[in-house]
Amino acid sequence: MAVVVNNLSFAYGRETVLRDVSFQAPAGKLTALLGRNGSGKSTLLKLLAGILTCPRGRIELMEQDLSVLTGAARARLVGYLPQFHQAVFSFTVEDVVLTGRAAYVTTMPASRDRDAADSAIRMVGIEHLRRRPYTELSGGERQLVMIARVLAQQPRIILLDEPLSHLDLFNQARLIGLLKRLTEAGMTVLAVLHDPNPALLFGDCIVCLRDGQVALPPAGGAPWDSVFLSEVYGLNLETVPYRGKALIAPVESEGGKQNGNA
Amino acid sequence: MTLLQTRNLFYLLLPLPVLFLSLFIGPAGSVAPPGVLEWFMAKLGGGIPLADAALQMVEEVIVNVRLPRVILAFLVGGALTVSGTSLQALVRNPLVAPEILGLSAGAAFGAALALTVSWLPLQPTAFAFGLAAAAFTYFLAVSRRGVSVISLVLAGIIVTGLFTALLTIVQIMNDPFKLQTIVHWTMGNLHNAAWSKVRSSILPITAGAVALICMRWRMNVLALGDEETRAVGLNPEREKLLVLVPSVLVASAAVAVAGIIGLVGLAVPHMVRMLVGPDNSKTVPASIAFGGVFLVLVDDLCRAMTSFEIPVGIFTTLIGGPFFIYLLKRAKLGFGE
């Protein structure tokens, strides 16, 4: 197991976000984190990335206790793509990607760091943006740049908070293809996805969060179990068989208004 | 890599001809360029005859008046600019200058205090109060979750207000003669530059500048945001302090010897970014070179234009202000949106 989370609880001040969360993500697989807005997905990812520190519970990444790792050691193990990002200075794409190398650099990046940034840029397929100012890019292009930055970091686990947002269909498919190739090469990917369908089609494992607690698909059942997902999203869902897997779609109800998850 | 080294060499060598030529410039009517050239030739030719009183006078002017002044102008200009560049990366706001941390107001109060209380040494007191004001700002802004940019800027405004009020109290309590000295100090001037001022400021400025040069690439990381910094393995709070402390050190040392020289720390970093781009691994060394050269040239103008001394701070504001407005209107500053 690449990621092992045991009894994790977290609160922003008095507002409890995660309650006694335990789950595991296998190495070399793409695990999708699903759930409604505010269910604690992004918080969980930030805890795994070491962006937030957690007083209660235990996180192990590649058999190492996250809480005792130094910043640089952690960054070599796990990379993180934040959900929102804005830049003030018009750094070139190259310079932004290069900042992913911070854990390997003392004062100035060496040629080995430039090579890593370079191959990350090629992997994501944004060679044509290399010298463009980051601030002049579209939302989707920025997303790709930040993904290249995570890859330049060369971690063994990558945590992506909604990597498909802002991307057009072409780039979504391309990114999913890249993530599949990375997992085949041994990388562990944990991605928060707002749209469950790519998760159902391409994810190896599914972990759902509901009100700060883990909800797992029924044992032995498929993750596209409509009763299970309907509960997770608080919405009447219907599964549509598709190529041996299934997609889900909301059922149109008479009143048009769906049950919330009370 | 070799390109990088050539570039660094360029930054190192660019100021030298400017510094050298500046030795020829002085208030009209005194030691004129031909006289300086004659002295220089004599010096190269094996020394100056003791009997030549005119050349001895030229030597006195060059060595003890112009040389320290040119060096001081370079140090102060480089310090204010590199401090501004670094702080702009730190707070991720290109409209920030060293003054924002309250250090100028603190140093001005310290200077006023030293000019009032005779046993207080002027420069060390101004320096200490500049540092104290910036530290006060930092501790006002810091919370359990670190230092947010907005709280830092707000705390800076409060501390600036506080020290400005204290400065006003000192000014009111003083007699007109001392008041004039205080006001003149706050205007920012280089005309009483001396080797003693160079000696007292060169150490903190050099130490701070070296620290900032070491941090130059990591400023790029920091400029992308706190979470983004943490995600790649650096602690943003530690990195901020590593940029903040040397920035405050160099700016306080500069203000302590030259008073408040406006707009250099704000406008020159933008000129530098227009020239070399936003990458801090280039802007930091370039800021030292160009910032230093900028103030030396403005001070040359000051000395050449009039036979009496206009404080250089007034000139930098008069030149920098309109230029900055022009840049803003053309929106060619090195930041987006």
Give the pLDDT of residue B4. 55
Of the candidates B102, B119, B90, the one whose C-alpha atom is nearest the C-alpha of residue B239 is: B90
* Shared domain check, A151 and A25: yes
> 86-105 in A: which are within 8 Å (CB) of B?
86-92, 95-96, 98-103, 105
Residue B334 has its nearest CB partner, among A89, A96, A99, at A89
- Is the same domain home to A211 and A249? no
Q: What is the pLDDT of residue A100?
A: 95
In tens, the pLDDT along B191-202 reads: 888 899 999 999
Q: Within an 8 Å CB–CB cutoff, is residue A111 touching chain B?
A: yes
Q: Of A198, A216, A234, which residue is a domain's last?
A: A216
Best residue in B224, B242, B279 for a mutation probing chain A (most A CBs within 10 Å): B224
Domain co-membership, A176 together with A251? no
Q: In terms of Cα–Cα distance, which of B100, B79, B77 is closest to B88?
A: B100
What integer pLDDT is reported at residue A253 of this predicted model? Answer: 67
| B231/A101 CB distance under 8 A | no
Looking at the fold, whether A192 and A256 belong to one and the same domain comes out as: no
Whether pLDDT at A257 is above 60: no
Where on the phi/psi map is residue A86: left (φ > 0), alpha (ψ -120 to 50), or beta? Answer: beta
Nearest to B284 by CA among B31, B8, B60: B8
Query: What is the CATH classification number for the domain harbouring B188?
Result: 1.10.3470.10
Chain position carrying tokens 């007292």: B200
* Closest-CA residue of chain B to A111: B1
Chain A residues with CB-CB distance to B236 below 8 A? none
Query: Within this chain, do residues A73 and A183 fall inside the same structural domain, yes or no?
Result: yes
Is B336 within the bounds of a domain?
Answer: no
Answer whether residue B274 shows pLDDT above 90. no
Q: Which of A23-32, A171-180, B182-191 has the lowest mean pLDDT?
A: B182-191
Number of domains making up chain A: 2
CB contact under 8 A, B221 and A72: no
8 Å CB contact of B336 and A133: yes
CA distance A23 to chain B (A): 22
Question: How confident is the model over B54-68, as a mean pLDDT?
Answer: 86
Confidence of residue B318 (pLDDT cuts 50, 70, 90): confident
The residue to which tokens 């200075």 are assigned: A89
Minimum distance, in Å, between the CA of residue A36 and any CA atom of chain B: 23
Q: Do residues A34 and A140 both lie within one domain?
A: yes
Among chain B residues, CA nearest to A158: B231
pTM score, whole prediction: 0.90
pLDDT in tens, B102-135: 999 999 999 999 999 889 998 999 999 999 999 9
CB-nearest partner of A135 from B221, B227, B336 = B336
* B223/A101 CB distance under 8 A: no
Percent of chain B with pLDDT over 70: 94
Is the domain of A165 the same as that of A229? no
Residues A257 and A130 in one domain: no
Task: Tell me how far apart the alpha carbons of residues B175 and B191 are, in angstroms, rounded to a whole number.
Answer: 24
Domain span holding position A255: 220-262
- The range of the structural domain enclosing residue B283 comes to 17-23+30-330
Question: Is B302 part of any domain?
Answer: yes
Question: Is A74's CB within 8 Å of B233's CB?
Answer: yes
Q: Chain A residue closest to B227 (CA)?
A: A51
Q: Which chain A residues are closer than 8 Å to B231 by Cβ?
A: 49, 51, 75, 79-80, 82, 150
Is B12 part of any domain? no
Domain count, chain B: 1
What is the interface pTM, i.e. ipTM, of the complex? Answer: 0.89
pLDDT tens-digit map of B234-264: 999 999 999 999 999 999 999 999 999 988 9
Cα–Cα dist A128/B139, whole Å: 45
- Round to whole Å and give the CA distance between A173 and A203: 13
What average pLDDT does the structure give for chain B? Answer: 87
> In terms of CA atoms, which chain B residue is nearest residue A109?
B217
Residue A254 pLDDT exceeds 80: no
Residues A151 and A128 in one domain: yes
B1 band by pLDDT with thresholds 50, 70 and 90: very low
Instruction: Give φ, ψ of A131 to 5 degrees.
Output: -100, 5
B327: confidence class by pLDDT, cuts 50, 70, 90? confident
Chain B residues close to A12, C-beta within 8 Å: none
CB within 8 Å of B303: residues ≥ 6 apart: B25, B26, B27
Identify the residue with better confidence: B60 or A155. A155
Is A146 found in the same domain as A183? yes
Question: Burial, B226: exposed, middle or buried (Cβ in 10 Å; 0-12, 13-18, 19+)?
Answer: buried
Which CATH number goes with the domain that contains A135? 3.40.50.300
Considering only CB atoms, which chain B residues are within 8 Å of A103? 232-234
Q: What is the mean pLDDT of residues B324-336?
A: 64
What is the bridge-based pairing of β-strands A56-61 and A205-210? unpaired
Identify whether residues A209 and A262 lie together within a single domain: no
Q: Residues 6 or more apart from B99 whose CB is under 8 A from it?
A: B105, B160, B260, B265, B266
A46, two tokens: 């930030």
- Between B26 and B81, name the one with better pLDDT: B81
Q: Number of helices (H) and strands (E), helices first, in chain B?
A: 16, 2
User: For residue A192, how far is the Cα from the chain centroid?
Assistant: 4
SS3 letters for chain A?
A: CCEEEEEEEEEECCEEEEEEEEEEECCCCEEEEEECCCCCHHHHHHHHHCCCCCCEEEEEECCEEHHHCCHHHHHHHEEEECCCCCCCECCEHHHHHHHHHHHHCCCCCCHHHHHHHHHHHHHHCCHHHCCCEHHHCCHHHHHHHHHHHHHHCCCCEEEEECCCCCCCHHHHHHHHHHHHHHHHCCCEEEEECCCHHHHHHHCCEEEEEECCEEECCCCCCCCCCHHHHHHHHCCCEEEEEECCEEEEEECCCCCCCCCCCC
Specify whether A95 is located in the same domain as A59.
yes
Q: How many whole angstroms separate alpha carbon B208 and alpha carbon B75?
A: 12
